[in-house]
Amino acid sequence: MRKLLLIAAFLAASPLHAQTPIPTFTEETATSGIESSFMGDWEYMVGGGVATFDCNGDGFEDVLTAGGTAQASFFVNTSTAGGPLTFVRQTSGLEIEAVSGTYPLDIDSDGNIDIVLLRVGENMVMRGLGNCQFERANEAWGFDGGDAWSASFSATWEHGQKWPTIAIGNYIDRMQDEFPWGSCTDNWLHRPNADSSGFAPPLPLTPSYCALSILFTDWDRSGTPSLRVSNDREYYKGGQEQMWHLAPGEPPVLLKDTDGWARLRIWGMGIASNDLNGDGFPEYFLTSMADSKLQTLAAPPADGTPARPAYSDVAFAKGVTAHRPYIGDEIQPSTGWHAQFEDVNNDGLADLFVAKGNVDKMPDFALHDPNNLLLQNPDGTFTETGDKASVASMMISRGAALADFNLDGRLDLIVTNRRTPAQVWRNTGPLDGHWIGVRIHQEGPNPDAIGGWLELKRGETVTRREITSGGGHASGQLGWLHMGLGNATEAQVRIIWPDGTEGPWEQVAPDHFYLVSPGAPPRSWTPG
Amino acid sequence: MTAFRRLLSVLLLALMLPSLTMAQTDDRAAFAYQRWYALVLELVRHTPTYTPPVASRAFAYVSIAAYEAVASGNTDLRTLAGQLHGLEPLPARDPAAIYDEAIVIQAAMADSASFFFSNTGPTGQRAMTAMKADLTERTSAGVDPETGARSAAFGKAIADHIIAWSMDDGGATIVNMGFPLDYPAATKPFEWVPTSAIRQQQMPLLPEWGTNRPFAMPQDACPLPPPPAYSEEVGSQFRIEAQEVHDVPGQLTDEQKLIARFWSDDPMLSPTPPGHWVTIALDQLALEDAPLDRQVEVLAKLGITVADAFIANWKMKYEYDLLRPVTYIRRVLDDKWSPLLITPPFPEYPSGHSTQSGAAATVLTALFGENHAFTDTTHEDDGLPARDFPDFWAAANEAGISRLYGGIHFRSAIDLGLDQGRCVGDFTNALVTRS
């Protein structure tokens, strides 16, 4: 037997570097006008998303929250630039029950943002009519909403298509009461129909393993996104994490161990992606219960040869396991849901927010589980600052969005909670770092350039983010792409468009918003 | 479909007949008992704290509650009170009153399962609630309400007695899924060190489990000699065994890889090693259409011996505190080496699966006989095909060697683990269950 000598090194959190600024978030829930709770029992133990998007063209991102057994709620953003966060509930046509997840997407490429509602029951596509009004479009677009417990979403435009391909991840067969385990229902792939007027009947993505987050992502930079699927091992049998390869016009093909895909089985609940190490390939953060994962390509090719989908878990090494509450007196492990990489302190490094909350009074897991705000340090490690930044809510959180609601160049935060009101925080700095905000637009199909890449150059440093639709946990965003610049006083941006065309590097001034379109220099945009 | 599930289907049809006969009362009781066991096998898998030692404890207590519920009304069975450590005489039936056996066992199972899986998630809770309602209705149909109420109260009293007995055995409270927050760091080269990049598993699982109160065996029973002395010297026994593990991945046949996966029995992804043997036993009982008293006897003895096996095994694990093959091999032989299976987060010697499989084989051989051939269907739902065995020891030996194929145990841990299991099983076999 051993003598007592604590393994202190394993418990020590990554220290905060002196040059890593901690932002201050000021909670403005009470005055924000956001009043929404995600309600319901067993069939709503997952989900609870929030969508942020600008549907009235004023540049300020509006908010849609899932209500579960209550109606979904839409709030128009009435904030002023740099001011407090204010929203007003507005009837939008989205006031629908049984919604678990919400994702914005301009499906018909008409310039009006549409909404996909994931539901316990029939999913709905809601056509944007302009000025934040929406109507059901399932029949008009040939979208078969099915009847399932839908929990995850992602979209892409496959090469040559005028209409998006939508993937929807489904959960347990909710009709099974005594033996629901092993009853994962098929995920669906809604591809365009033959004449590009809408959707073809959905294709089952068999086998399916209770997907709680899915994301079309160009993991290997081949130019053809694959579908990354994170599955909840609580309910599948014989399952694992998945990646589907989608060649245009071909049936989806599941990657196998012979491709290099290694079996990983977690309580997968949310996906966030970002090229953290600057090698051009995205890293993937996967929320789970207890340890979360941070996957990086085990052997990223540097010579243009095809990448193999073999990943190493570097969560422990980078300090992002987020496995246990970091404040309070609970010692049980955490439960992670929505995750999002964004630069919240404008130091030029992507940080990580994780929404936390017990599934439903599970005593083996923390009942008071603070959300995480993990700031990235210059050496690539992350340090927990959720308490110092004042976003360590102990509510039972599910969905979330980091977005610049008041267009002051600092990312604010909204978090949805199960059975209790959503919370809103304004990022009140003080932050010395610079930033830019970018909205991308192209004419024709896929106006928001889903599948493209935004790259930012500061001196010799290039940071990049993939323009995706989906992932997280039941929560989607379509709006300004925020990039911190640190102390750089000049920067260049370029877009790699979804068809692979590399736009030119264009000079941008710090602390500005830009509208970027193909063949034209970035146009500066000012709120109001 | 497993034999156990086929039997459940047959019993469900039998229960649809309109009037109650004695045979149907037996069918009702057996149906309730087996439905609960089917659910318990799922709950073990889907309750995160149920690592193999914790799972073995739950199986033991639930099976004993069921055994005592049946034994209280069956003159052929003898109570285990006075035979199991700390188990005081259980509530007795009113000799002048009538009891419905189906309602007694239903109440005992509902109460004990609800308690021993009280920490399962919302889906497990929902399933238990649904099953309790369903089986209460089924077992109560056609029964005099006064008899029904008396029977339900008695079944619950039996379960409550078992629950109270369980509370001070040392294993009742599990925090952080069994991983301590502090643990002494390794200071000697032979000592266990973490083998994964999982933050929670930087501490070893359940280091105090070996001090739990055993069921049938004496405290600290079945000790083992130390493993081969740690050495990095060429030609040393330790290095020879490490070299054997190192060489395995390149030599494995497809069949051997399948064997490694078949007995992997990962917690939260399978019914765990204890549940694997419970599944085997349920299938054999279904095939022989065993009466309820036989079923509860077999599962109680199996539950007891596997739980004792984990206590004895864990005692040795933390006594000898040996490093895993992956640690030694990467340190001494090959820094790029990886095992086929994920290395469990606790010391190596002896192999837990070997000990519990040896104990299970010892007890099941005594109950079903030598040369009892069977088919193991445990993992069919997970896509692993059934495997045939000529007897229980063949399965136990395969479970043992699977850990070498998987690259997570040295040979000594397997061989001596099986020996330890045999020792544990002998104590269980000494229990007197029949008058």
The string of DSSP letters for A288-333 reads -BSS-EEEEESS--SSSPPPP--EEE-HHHHT----S-SSSS--SP
- Cβ under 8 Å to B: A residues 289-318: 289-291, 313-317
Query: Does the pLDDT of residue A7 top 90, yes or no?
Result: no
Residues B214 and B109 in one domain: no
User: Exposed/middle/buried for A148, CB within 10 Å: 0-12, 13-18, 19+?
Assistant: buried
Residues B201 and B281 in one domain: yes
Residues 6+ apart with CB under 8 A from B202: A7, A10, A11, B194
Give domain status of residue B172, yes or no: no
Q: Using CA atoms, how far apart are residues B203 and A98, in angstroms rounded to an integer?
A: 42
Nearest CA in chain B to A312: B197
Whether A404 and A8 have beta carbons less than 8 Å apart is answered as: no
Q: Give the phi and the psi of residue A178 in degrees, each rounded to 5.
A: -85, -35
Q: Using CA atoms, how far apart are residues A58 and A514, in angstroms rounded to an integer?
A: 14
The dihedral of CA A322, A328, A334, A340: what is its sign? negative
Whose structure tokens read 């946990």?
A: A473
Q: Using CA atoms, how far apart are residues A257 and A236, in angstroms rounded to an integer?
A: 19
Measured between CB atoms, which of B39, B122, B182 is closest to A45? B122
Nearest CA in chain A to B128: A178
Measured between CB atoms, which of B39, B197, B318 is closest to A178? B39
Is B42 within 8 Å of A181 when comparing Cβ atoms?
Answer: yes
Q: What is the CA radius of gyration of chain A?
A: 21
Q: Before B325, cis peptide (omega within 30)?
A: no
A172 neighbourhood in chain B, CB within 8 Å: 123
Question: Strand locations in A122-178, DSSP E?
Answer: 124-130, 133-136, 148-156, 165-170
B119 neighbourhood in chain A, CB within 8 Å: 362-364
Is A177 within 8 Å of B130 when comparing Cβ atoms?
Answer: yes
Residues B238 and B117 in one domain: no
**Residue-wise pLDDT tens digits, A396-412:** 999 999 999 999 999 99
Domain ranges, residue B53:
3-166
Q: Using CA atoms, how far apart are residues B327 and B324, in angstroms rounded to an integer?
A: 5
A12 touches chain B (CB under 8 A): no
Residue B334 belongs to domain with CATH number: 1.10.606.20
Whether A252 and A205 have beta carbons less than 8 Å apart is answered as: yes
Nearest CA in chain A to B123: A42
Type of residue at A324: R
- Of B166, B192, B211, the domain-final residue: B166
Q: How far is A435 from chain B (nearest CA, A)?
A: 34
Give domain status of residue B24, yes or no: yes
Is A324 within 8 Å of B122 when comparing Cβ atoms?
Answer: no
Measured between CB atoms, which of A5, A237, A365 is closest to B381? A237
Residues B217 and B110 in one domain: no
Measured between CB atoms, which of A181, A316, A364 is closest to B177? A364
Residues B293 and B424 in one domain: yes
A6 touches chain B (CB under 8 A): yes
Q: Count CA within 13 A, CB hemisphere, residue B227.
A: 31
Q: Using CA atoms, how far apart are residues B435 and B433, in angstroms rounded to an integer?
A: 7
- pLDDT-derived band at A395 (thresholds 50, 70, 90) equals very high
**DSSP letter at A13?**
P
Give domain status of residue B435, yes or no: no
Is B184 within 8 Å of A180 when comparing Cβ atoms?
Answer: no
Give domain status of residue B356, yes or no: yes
Q: Tell me the H-state helices in B117-193.
A: 122-140, 145-166
A291 neighbourhood in chain B, CB within 8 Å: 198-200
Counted domains in chain B: 2
**DSSP letter at A139?**
T
Whether A93 and A99 have beta carbons less than 8 Å apart is answered as: no
A206 touches chain B (CB under 8 A): no
A363 touches chain B (CB under 8 A): yes
Give the closest residue to B44 by CA, choosing from B121, B159, B103, B152: B121
- Provide the 3-class DSSP secondary structure of residue B254: helix
Nearest CA in chain B to A13: B199
Q: How far is A102 from chain B (nearest CA, A)?
A: 24
**ipTM, interface predicted TM-score of the complex:** 0.91
| C-beta atoms surrounding A277 within 10 Å | 15
A332 touches chain B (CB under 8 A): yes
- Record the tokens describing residue B207, joined without a space: 């280091």
Give domain status of residue B233, yes or no: yes
Nearest CA in chain B to A319: B199
Pairing mode, if any, of strands A293-297 and A283-287? antiparallel
Residues 6+ apart with CB under 8 A from A249: none
Residues B207 and B155 in one domain: no
A313 neighbourhood in chain B, CB within 8 Å: 197
Total residues belonging to chain B: 435
Give the closest residue to B347 by CA, choosing from B371, B367, B361, B327: B327
- Provide the 3-class DSSP secondary structure of residue A370: coil
Give Cα separations from B231 to A106, B239, B332 (angstroms). Answer: 66, 6, 10
Residues B198 and B282 in one domain: yes
Give domain status of residue B177, yes or no: no
Nearest CA in chain B to A233: B269
Nearest CA in chain A to B124: A178
Type of residue at A394: M
**Ordered per-residue pLDDT tens for chain B, 435 residues:** 566 666 666 555 555 544 445 456 678 999 999 999 999 999 999 998 999 999 999 999 999 999 999 999 999 999 999 999 999 999 999 999 999 999 999 999 999 999 999 999 999 999 999 999 999 999 999 999 999 999 999 999 999 999 999 999 999 999 999 999 999 999 999 999 999 999 999 999 999 999 999 999 999 999 999 999 999 999 999 999 999 999 998 899 999 999 999 999 999 999 999 999 999 999 999 999 999 999 999 999 999 999 999 999 999 999 999 999 999 999 999 999 999 999 999 999 999 999 999 999 999 999 999 999 999 999 999 999 999 999 999 999 999 999 999 999 999 999 999 999 999 999 999 999 998
Give domain status of residue B238, yes or no: yes
Q: How far is B320 from chain A (nearest CA, A)?
A: 7
